[in-house]
Structure 1
């Protein structure tokens, strides 16, 4: 059975938001954890706003460059418990370990 691009895109966004919430909260961390390319990780974080998931970058205190992490400030209409309850299906759909 073929999985639509819409579904995989939606699941990817949910999964990245979930990872950020769980502490895998940087682009390199997401890349390492999932194996996704840098650009995909960056674009996915940027696109969380389209689902009304408010994600912001938190710069480390005293850092002169863009050292820091992302944080989910508001999940909007998304039920994060549903993501946790369906994590194995999400990962399987995305072909992530």
Structure 2
């Protein structure tokens, strides 16, 4: 299956948010190796494909906290998990 890399990046980051303990931008950068701006742009774009996420404030500074997914929208989480290798392959091309 050939996936668009932009679409694959969004689904893959959503998957990381779902399965990472207290996912925040620094932790997602560490996991992906992507630049901060890329992570921020992808997180901001998730609602445009129907994936709802929230930022949970957990600290004194306004950016202390983590993300949580509240709704996968039109996507089936099990389908996405099963296609993680396809997502990674699309990102590598």
When the two structures are superposed, what TM-score results if normalisation uses the length of structure 2?
0.89
Q: 2:35 maps to what in 1?
A: 37
Structure with bigger RCO (C-alpha 8 Å, 6+ apart): 2
Q: 2:10 maps to what in 1?
A: 13
Give the match's secondary structure for 1:58.
Answer: strand
1:79 CA displacement: 1.0
Name the CA distance, whole Å, in 2 between partners of 1:40 and 1:26: 13
When the two structures are superposed, what TM-score results if normalisation uses the length of structure 1?
0.86
Give the match's secondary structure for 1:72.
Answer: strand
Ranges in structure 2 where 5+ consecutive residues have no aligned partner? none
Q: 2:20 aligns with which of 16, 23, 38?
A: 23
Aligned residues: 90
Ranges in structure 1 where 5+ consecutive residues have no aligned partner? none
Q: 2:91 maps to what in 1?
A: 94
User: RMSD across aligned C-alpha pairs, in angstroms?
Assistant: 1.7
Q: 2:77 maps to what in 1?
A: 80
Structure 1 consecutive aligned stretches of length 4 or more whose deviation exceeds 6 Å: none
